[in-house]
Amino acid sequence: MKFNTKLIHAGISQDQATGAVNVPIYQTSTYAQQELGGSPRYEYSRTGNPTREAVEKLIRDLENGAAGFAFASGSAAIHTVFTLFSTGDHIIVGNDVYGGTFRLINSVLKRLGLEFTTVDTRDLAAVKAAVKVNTKAIYLETPTNPLMRISDIAALAKLAHENELLTIVDNTFATPYIQRPLDLGADIVVHSASKYLGGHSDLVAGLVVTKNEQLGEKIGYLQNAIGGILGPQDSWLLQRGIKTLAVRMKAHEHNTQEIFSFLRSDDRIGKIYYPSDPEAPGYEIVKRQMNGFGGMLSFELKQGLSVKKFIENLSLITLAESLGSVESLVEVPAIMTHGSIPEEIRLKNGITNELIRLSVGIEEASDLVADLKNALAKA
């Protein structure tokens, strides 16, 4: 089955009990058991629920993994993956990961005795130098948020395997439509399905896929033990969202390319960050590991223009956090998503006060460009 067909038919796509063409919402906590001491397929919905199982098998198949798991949020999914490790274990983390992941690491996991070193994962030598005797994993995002930095998943996974480390990739920005980290040698993929996979800003969910069965058993055990599962209603909504991933991603990318061309031609715009830029560092890796460029783009207004006036004069593009939905969203990382990073570190990392991040939706491209043009004129 090709990827676009899998979106509709992979995993469990119909109800096995009735033939309904959509898996229903099995709104139940428990299941009648036929015999005492038997081993029923379902016994309690934290452990297993048919609606959740349908979306778990779907993401498993989309990422070409051995097992998939659905959680109440991306953060819950990431937390559960980190509980694979024990006090004293060391993990190498990309220096440009999602703010909530940074917070989870620094204010929760370090307190529980996990050790972390943050490294620019574009730099293989730096990653190699960070490996210690107690290192157990490399955790990264690519492309990163908001500067679209690209790391070489295959090269990192090779380095990880040579050192007996797991490679864990947060694939939220690219989605399996564009990039499949397990095919490139990674061991675990995590998602905030609240973004492109759900795709409509109407749901918070997280997903994990493991490359092999053994890791799948471990994550399954932890999912049940910790209990941060996705409920049946949101599992259903997520499966419904995922079905249109291919058509949405095509439209996101088309619009983002149009906006990229417009911004490039306008001399009021400074740096632009989008993976389709052949002059950007990492473009060779993009060509190798990504099947497209996605719908996230960041750019800077030149000095002298007002970011505040620009943002407040957008009428179609909505000022909001989050990303990956059908409607276009804009945010200013320095004030919003990355506001908790100390200014000195933030500026050093390239996230300037003039940087604007767009999550380009699937509206008509010319309407989006007109909105940007109008706001620029007033900035």
Cα separation values, 137 from 18, 64, 104, 119, Å: 44, 21, 16, 13
> CA 179 to CA 285: how far, in whole Å?
11
**Given the rule CB under 6 A, which of 17-25, 122-130, 170-178, 219-227 is the region that contacts ligand PLP?**
170-178
Q: Which of residues 61-80 bind ligand PLP (CB under 6 A)?
A: 73-75
Question: Does the active-site annotation cover 277?
Answer: no
Stretch that binds ligand PLP, among 117-125, 166-174, 239-247, 280-288 (CB under 6 A): 166-174
Nearer to ligand PLP, 79 or 371 (CB): 79
Tell me the closest approach of the beta carbon of residue 319 to ligand PLP, in angstroms.
17
Q: Which of 15, 42, 84, 100 is in the footprint of ligand PLP by CB under 6 A?
A: 100
195 counts as binding ligand PLP under rule CB under 6 A:
yes
Q: Is 194 in the site for ligand PLP (CB under 6 A)?
A: yes
If the CB atoms of residues 206 and 282 are measured against ligand PLP, the closer one turns out to be 206
Under the binding rule (CB under 6 A), the answer on residue 98 touching ligand PLP is: yes
Q: 52 catalytic, yes or no?
A: no
Residue 204 is a binding residue for ligand PLP (CB under 6 A):
yes
The CA distance from 143 to 274, in Å, is 9
Whichever of 73 and 223 has its CB closer to ligand PLP, that residue is 73
Q: What is the 3-state secondary structure (H, E, C) of the chain?
A: CCHHHHHHHCCCCCCCCCCCCCCCCCCCCECCCCCCCCCCCCCECCCCCHHHHHHHHHHHHHCCCCEEEEECCHHHHHHHHHCCCCCCCEEEEECCCCHHHHHHHHHHHCCCCCEEEEECCCCHHHHHHHCCCCEEEEEEECCCCCCCCCCCHHHHHHHHHHCCCEEEEECCCCHHHHCCHHHHCCCEEEEECCCCCCCCCCCCCEEEEECCHHHHHHHHHHHHHHCCECCHHHHHHHHHHHHCHHHHHHHHHHHHHHHHHHHHCCCCEEEEECCCCCCCCCHHHHHHHCCCCCCEEEEEECCCCCHHHHHHCCCCCEECCCCCCCCCEEECCCCCCCCCCCHHHHHHCCCCCCEEEEECCCCCHHHHHHHHHHHHHHC
Decide if 41 is catalytic. Answer: no
Is 294 a binding residue for ligand PLP by CB under 6 A? The answer is no
Stretch that binds ligand PLP, among 44-52, 167-175, 211-219, 356-364 (CB under 6 A): 167-175
The reply on whether position 141 binds ligand PLP by CB under 6 A is: yes
Nearer to ligand PLP, 185 or 206 (CB): 206
**Residue 263 found at the interface with ligand PLP (CB under 6 A):** no
Kindly tell me which of 12 and 74 has the beta carbon lying closer to ligand PLP: 74
Question: Segment contacting ligand PLP (CB under 6 A): 33-41, 80-88, 96-104, 359-367?
Answer: 96-104
Least distance from ligand PLP to the Cβ atom of residue 69, Å: 14
Residue of 15, 31, 42, 46 with catalytic role? 46
Q: List C-alpha distances in Å: 277 to 151, 204, 298.
A: 15, 31, 12
Candidate list 170, 187, 234, 371, residue with the active-site label: 170
Minimal CB distance to ligand PLP: which residue? 74
Active site residue 170: yes
Question: Can you tell me which of 146, 206, 216, 294 binds ligand PLP, judged by CB under 6 A?
Answer: 206
Q: Of residues 53, 170, 234, 354, which one binds ligand PLP by CB under 6 A?
A: 170
Q: Least distance to ligand PLP from the beta carbon of 182, Å?
A: 17
Query: Closest Cα partner for 125 from 169, 156, 89?
Result: 156
Q: Which of 26, 61, 96, 98 is catalytic?
A: 98
CB 256, CB 297: distance < 8 Å: yes
Catalytic residue ranges: 46, 98, 170, 195
Q: Which residues bind ligand PLP (CB under 6 A)?
A: 73-75, 98, 100-101, 141, 145, 170, 172-173, 192, 194-195, 204, 206
